[in-house]
Amino acid sequence: MGLYHLKVKIISRGSGRSAVGSAAYRSATRAVAYRSGGNMRDKGGIVHDYRYKTGVAHSEIILPEGAPPEYADRQTLWNAVDTSEKRKDARLAREVVVALQRDFELAEQIALLREFIQENFVDKGMIADLNIHDKGDGNPHAHIMLTTRHVTPEGFGKKNRDWDKRENLLVWRKNWADINNRMFAEKGLDGRIDHRSYKARGIDREPTIHMGHEATALERKGVKTERGNYNREIQRRNAEREAREIAFESSEGDDNKEPPELKKERVDPREVEKAARRVEKIWEERRAQDLKELEEYLKAAKAEKIAEEMRERQSIAEDMHETRENYIALEKEFNRQKYEYNTENQELPPLRYLTQKAGEYVKSIAELRGEGAQLQKMRQSLSWRDWGRKAEIDDKIRQVEQKIAQEQDILKNRFHIDPAHAHVELKRLQGEIREKEHRANIRAARIQEIEEKQEAVKLDYHTQKLLNETRHDYQKIEKLLENMSKPPESIRERLLHEQITRRLNTITDENFREVIKNLPENQAKMLISHVEAKKLNNARRLLRDKIERERSRADERCR
């Protein structure tokens, strides 16, 4: 018998596992990185590394006609999705989760999924990101992430509201059952699946609910869960229905053999009393069993709740640790870029001064040589009788040559430039200045970009921290976060970590207003109420301390 499961859900910025721990839903990029077990950087520069995730058997992206070819890259595609959505509660993607048949090989499952995705989603204009998960635990399934906007060669356009209609879900459910049943028939297997409910098929049975991977894992470990108990109760009631149907069919057969009047005449009152006692005993045993099952259920529910809280705390602490590590990485890059920017800026003034002064001397030498050439030409134009004028010109030529020699010595000794190649050296220096100025401009832009990313990461951290303070287990989360910090390898690293920790844990009124501005209304109101109550409690505590100090001083004066 095959297993049927198809569920559709929306991934949006306004949803998540908790007010703080929306780990897989804050961005489409992060959600896809988790499902594909990949390493992706989102548009804010934050890296989501889930390469440690096991059980990802297959991943691929299927593009419709006319989609930009660069969207075949998972990081490019989902960063484009995140960029196209401006609202803080925007619907980022639609996810279809389907159970895969254990009777089919991986290659057959991939072929079925490709056909199903092409006919039902991609041909309609959606981009599909397919990820098959199979840990070998008997629960193979696929996550199909779908885009929600029209796609053109230029990118994403308007949302397609027709894809949200309920009729589509009914069609998808039927098509998934049909395509699997066709594969069962082709392989000669008896298994079949049906997308319809028991009621639609005319079967007097109650349907069980989907267990989910967490409840299934707990049940395998022997921990009874609420979902497991619910399904067991449904299975018990279904078994009773089947038993009653069998008994009714048997009694109908007996009644056909013997008239009811004769049966009634042979009824013994003592047998009736015995039957009543047996029924009473059965009911007593059932009540005792129910009490025992209820006690076990409450214990399992408590254990499941504790385990769920522990997982949620761990997830929140991991989110905050990742955010803090991203901030530290940005701070290190900022310091490196700032150091190199300052270094190059310090090198530019002396280089400009050298180029300017050397250029002045080169220009002066050129002018002196031109003046010497004119004097030589003037001397050659004089007749032999003008020996006095010639002597005067010779004296000026010697003075010019002396000045040229002096300035060449300055070029050579002070600026370390060969006068014979001065023009070439000046061009090289000017090129070096332009290159350093270009690098400095690039570093300045990168520094500004890093500062903007740091502000975004800090805002995210402040949001998580403030929302965590509204939880009853806030101290436990802080302890987990503290234990995740690796000991710094050097004094410099330790100082940097301490500085960043103080910066991230210090939340000013301006930071608080920024957090409130980016939160949904219900969370913002809850956080404002919590902070106001905290301020009121602090004021009361300070007043009590002040009264206590005044009372102590009064007692001292009396003594």
Query: 390-449: per-residue pLDDT in tens?
Result: 888 889 999 999 999 999 999 899 888 888 888 899 999 999 999 999 999 999 999 999
Write down the residue that tokens 């090989």 correspond to: 105
CA-to-CA distance for 208 and 199, rounded, in angstroms?
A: 13
DSSP letter at 163 equals G
Q: Tell me phi and psi for residue 511, to 5 degrees.
A: -60, -40
How many Å separate Cα 183 from the centre of its chain?
37
pLDDT at 321 over 80: yes
- The fraction of the chain above a pLDDT of 70, given in percent, is 83
Report how far residue 454's alpha carbon sits from residue 519's, in angstroms, rounded to the nearest whole number. Answer: 19
**What's the whole-number mean pLDDT along residues 518-547?**
85
* 293-318 residue pLDDT tens: 667 766 777 777 787 788 888 888 88
Locate tokens 């490019």: which residue?
76
CA atoms within 13 A on the CB side of 346: 6
C-alpha dihedral (283, 286, 287, 288), degrees to nearest 10: 130
Return d(Cα 66, Cα 63) in angstroms, integer. 8
Three-state secondary-structure class, residue 184: helix
pLDDT in the model for residue 263 = 44
The token duo for 467 is 């929302």
Q: Which residues lie across from 56 on neighbouring strands?
A: 133
Query: Which DSSP symbol is given to 44?
Result: T
CA-to-CA distance for 507 and 338, rounded, in angstroms? 25
The pLDDT of residue 212? 67
pLDDT of 442-463, one tens digit each?
A: 999 999 999 999 998 999 899 8
Residue 522 banded pLDDT, cuts 50, 70, 90: confident
CB 170 within 8 A of CB 177: no
Per DSSP, what are the bridge partners of residue 6? 98
Q: What is the number of H-type helices and E-type strands within the chain?
A: 15, 9
Go through 129-149 and write b for each residue having 16 or more CB atoms within 10 A of its CB, e for each that does not. Answer: bbbbbbeeeebbbbbbbbbbb
Tell me which amino acid residue 169 is. L
**pLDDT tier, 525 (very low <50, low <70, confident <90, very high otherwise):** confident
Residues contacting 147, CB < 8 A, separation 6+: 81, 93, 94, 126, 127, 156
Residues 176, 29: Cα–Cα separation, whole Å: 27
CA separation for the pair 374, 385 (Å, rounded): 20
Q: Is the pLDDT of residue 258 over 50?
A: no
Tokens encoding 20: 């703080």
Contact 295, 224 (CB under 8 A): no
Which residue has better confidence, 183 or 285?
183
Above 60 in pLDDT, residue 80? yes
Instruction: Tell which phi-psi region holds residue 155, choosing left (phi > 0), alpha (psi between -120 and 50) or beta.
Output: left
Number of Cβ within a 10 Å radius of residue 120? 20
Report the mean per-residue pLDDT for the chain: 81
| pTM of the predicted structure, to 2 decimals | 0.44
Q: Are 337 and 443 in contact (CB under 8 A)?
A: yes
